[in-house]
Structure 1
């Protein structure tokens, strides 16, 4: 399921995420951030011949499976060995995923990946447990990640950050024809079906990973 920018903004407002409001100094997001100036989250050799983009939603169960089951092998065999550079890109499918992405982007860079991995590992509890408040759970996870009290609310009130994430998502939809998550781009080749490490390694090799 893909939501356009207008739908996401409306859903965010209905969920109680103000469209305009607080600002605070944060480690990774500059004031007045735009789609072009969003921080890039990446791992691996910056000079690697192959750059792989992953477009994911933090409330996508397929993305959670990939993060927990497939990605560790990719990191060990392709990223840590310098064969590819791996970049992470938000593609929120609902307002909860958008809120999670806003908090993740507001963390110091060294806490970004541990935070999203923790969210994927506990996705069933914070995103899909009907007895829980997902926003309260996100704030709790942010606190555990070292985000001081009030900073998560400041991130969630940052209209520029919200619009930047959604605008970059819109750009990716147009450029790569993304229709669901996770979606991968190996250099400029889009692969929507990457179920396991073997498939990922094959696409990486076809893109030029030695």
Structure 2
């Protein structure tokens, strides 16, 4: 389906948007995955920070409406970025794993913005998550939010009615679930080893140091 105001509201109205870890049932867990397969990008290409030669690669699957994902990006991610990504120790790959229509729409907006603004927009979305993700009218809330990051109503609607973009975002999610056993957000693969939940910088740092 494509998003319109009407079907977006219909899809979003039935969602249980909570601040806890969101999960998909019935997917087999995997403790580790093949790195070559994991690092094969999806149809949209990967969004990557850090050196290609970094000894540790972290792949995060996240949903924009996941409260634990927001907590990770507000509390752990800044230190991860300054201490490990910017120092050449970690290569960080962020992938879309929307668990509801609102999260899918948010990812579509981030992907429709200028490419060099992607991570900046994701950071703002997580920082202000409660203002647009958990409202009685998510369409209007997301529209109003989008105007703060440079969209007009026309470009907002153009992004959300891009069926190819929606299909690609969903394909990234489906591949994460079916091939790599992702069934909750956030899920991290640190050099191929799976870790679920909003890790603290102490916990993540220990895992990274063990891989250096």
Fold match (TM-score > 0.5): yes
Match of 1:153 among 150, 157, 164: 157
The 3-state SS of whatever aligns with 1:93 is coil
Deviations 1:155-189 (A, max 9, x none): 10011111111111111112221111000011211
Pair 1:196 & 2:200 matched: yes
Pair 1:118 & 2:118 matched: no
Aligned 1:75-114 pairs, distance under 5 A: 75-114=81-120
Aligned 1:106-185 pairs, distance under 5 A: 106-130=112-136, 133-185=137-189
Q: Distance in 1 between matches of 2:66 and 2:189?
A: 18
RMSD: 2.3
Query: TM-score, normalised on structure 2?
Result: 0.78
Q: Distance in 2 between matches of 1:197 and 1:179?
A: 22
Deviation for aligned residue 1:16: 5.5
The 3-state SS of whatever aligns with 1:190 is strand
Alignment partner, residue 18 of structure 2: none
Task: Name structure 1 gaps, 5 residues minimum.
Answer: 1-8, 18-34
Task: Name structure 2 gaps, 5 residues minimum.
Answer: 11-40
Query: TM-score, normalised on structure 1?
Result: 0.79
Give the aligned length: 182
Which stretches of structure 1, 4 residues or more, deviate above 6 A after TM superposition? 10-13
Alignment partner, residue 36 of structure 1: 42
Deviation for aligned residue 1:14: 3.3
Pair 1:15 & 2:19 matched: no
Deviation for aligned residue 1:196: 0.4
Alignment partner, residue 25 of structure 1: none
CA contact (8 A) 1:45 1:84 kept: yes
